[in-house]
Chains A and B, each alone.
Chain A
């Protein structure tokens, strides 16, 4: 699933063309994202790496159109993302927040929030996709553990049947066992559904569990990118080296 295996004729599902996000920071403009360009293809996992405050979450919010880009263009399926109805676009480019929020009251309510026509049988199979038994369907979300909540949020995201999924540090609140389970579930979904996954990963060591792409973002800029294994073992840039050295300590 690396860049070389992709057929040349395939068009990017999501394309960022020199996008910038400038916010007003108490009177002075601040570049949160500064001229980011990249093509994302279906069937791939993209790991977004970078120090805290680099703009990783801001980038995912732009793709989901929770914020407006200041400059540049984003294309989804060849069409400019501003040409889509934002609500329809968000269902095609699903977004999982870093802290998952579940609506009251039950797991079933949360799946119905996305698609009210889902049958109990269908929902049960969706739960099994995130390693949860059928009795979770009627559980009150308040009694679930952090790991279970994150998996319900993932099932709810999958219920959108998006073509691109954006995941913001999905494992940051989870223990080792739950993180590797969650990453395995995401990986299965990408290969089974042929979708693109863009994942902000806090810990570069977790990237090694994939054979995907990695993008290193520092100060809102794409510093370097390439196959994840290569980028992490032999970063090409000075800033890449210093970021990975610092983080592996």
Chain B
């Protein structure tokens, strides 16, 4: 079923209608969300489709870079809004996400895994940035709540002559693990529990299964790289906020 058109999408609305009917019958309390979701996803994706078509047709380097920057800014804002309790969370999120995604995309270009074309850069950046965003938000939240709730342990270590890095080490490690958990779990179960979305999409679009698998492997390693970089940077920058240069834990932040 390679030549899918808008008529197929309209027909598939029957499935959405079935879901709505069941929701109505069972009085599922999220009926309204279902209806809004059906319309919203339709409009958003069609709009993105046209936008992508425009960008792909133009093939302008500046436009591609602008799209990446906007995606990083939106991702940073999303991560920030999940971790507002940390002062400077936007800048931390931005640095972590930008470093994780730019280093990863840059390496893929240098290693000639991809070329600088919109059809590679944009979808891959989207995946990278959304994963880096989740990793950054999880890491920032974890390290800040761990530092707050373990202040006695940290100050005990400081009072015994440990520096701020040594005193915060166990918490920094746990926070990086928290940021990486979803990609680690993904790698464990990939292909066994379900085929990943990108791979399913390629197979549906008519690609050879092996080609789809190769792309999927590249995607996994690329996500591992960006998530790891983003988590480590997020945890280091957040930890810095909680200490003074004199290895003192800031009581209020």
Q: How many A-B residue pairs have CB under 8 A?
A: 49
- Asked if B26 is an interface residue, CB under 8 A from chain A, the answer is no
* B158-188, CB < 8 A from A: 158-163
On whether A68 and B246 interact (CB within 8 A), knowing A99-B152, A101-B152, the answer reads yes
For the complex, give the distance between the alpha carbons of A103 and B154 in Å.
10
Least Cβ distance of B176 to chain A in Å?
20
| Chain B neighbourhood of A65, CB < 8 A | 246, 248
- Asked if A146 is an interface residue, CB under 8 A from chain B, the answer is no
Is there an interface contact between B246 and A86, defined as CB atoms closer than 8 Å? yes
| Chain A neighbourhood of B246, CB < 8 A | 65, 68, 86
| Chain A neighbourhood of B160, CB < 8 A | 90-91, 94, 113-114, 156, 160
| Chain A neighbourhood of B251, CB < 8 A | 67
Is there an interface contact between B152 and A91, defined as CB atoms closer than 8 Å? no
Is there an interface contact between A97 and B248, defined as CB atoms closer than 8 Å? no
- Asked if A143 is an interface residue, CB under 8 A from chain B, the answer is no
Most buried by A among B153, B160, B162, B246: B160
Interface 1/0 per residue, B29-65 and A, CB below 8 Å: 0000000000000000000000000000000000000
| Chain A neighbourhood of B158, CB < 8 A | 66, 87, 90
| Chain B neighbourhood of A192, CB < 8 A | none
- Asked if A95 is an interface residue, CB under 8 A from chain B, the answer is yes
- Asked if A150 is an interface residue, CB under 8 A from chain B, the answer is no
| Chain B neighbourhood of A88, CB < 8 A | 161
- Asked if A64 is an interface residue, CB under 8 A from chain B, the answer is yes
For the complex, give the distance between the alpha carbons of A91 and B111 in Å.
50
| Chain B neighbourhood of A86, CB < 8 A | 246-248
- Asked if B107 is an interface residue, CB under 8 A from chain A, the answer is no
- Asked if B244 is an interface residue, CB under 8 A from chain A, the answer is yes
| Chain B neighbourhood of A87, CB < 8 A | 158, 161-163, 247
Interface 1/0 per residue, A153-178 and B, CB below 8 Å: 00010001000000000000000000
On whether A101 and B163 interact (CB within 8 A), knowing A65-B248, A68-B248, A86-B247, the answer reads no
Contact of A95 among B159, B163, B248 (CB under 8 A): B159
Total count of chain B residues near the partner, CB < 8 A: 17
- Asked if B236 is an interface residue, CB under 8 A from chain A, the answer is no
Is there an interface contact between A90 and B248, defined as CB atoms closer than 8 Å? no
| Chain B neighbourhood of A90, CB < 8 A | 158-161
- Asked if B156 is an interface residue, CB under 8 A from chain A, the answer is yes
Is there an interface contact between A97 and B161, defined as CB atoms closer than 8 Å? no
For the complex, give the distance between the alpha carbons of A51 and B203 in Å.
75
* B126-180, CB < 8 A from A: 152-153, 155-163
Residue of B nearest to A91 (CB): B161
* B4-49, CB < 8 A from A: none
On whether A101 and B161 interact (CB within 8 A), knowing A68-B248, A86-B246, A87-B247, the answer reads no
| Chain B neighbourhood of A97, CB < 8 A | 152, 155-156, 159
Most buried by B among A68, A86, A99, A114: A86
Interface 1/0 per residue, A181-211 and B, CB below 8 Å: 0000000000000000000000000000000
Is there an interface contact between B248 and A101, defined as CB atoms closer than 8 Å? no
On whether A66 and B244 interact (CB within 8 A), knowing A87-B161, A91-B160, A160-B161, the answer reads no
Residues of B near any A CB (own CB < 8 A): 152-153, 155-163, 244, 246-249, 251
Top-10 shortest CB links A-B: A91-B161, A101-B156, A95-B159, A86-B246, A87-B161, A101-B152, A86-B247, A90-B161, A87-B163, A101-B153
Can you list 14 A-B pairs with a CB-CB distance of less than 8 A? Answer: A66-B158, A66-B248, A67-B248, A68-B244, A86-B247, A87-B247, A90-B158, A90-B159, A91-B161, A94-B159, A97-B156, A101-B152, A101-B156, A103-B156
Q: A95-B159, A97-B159 are in contact. List 6 more A-B contacts (CB 8 A).
A: A65-B246, A66-B155, A66-B248, A90-B159, A94-B160, A114-B161
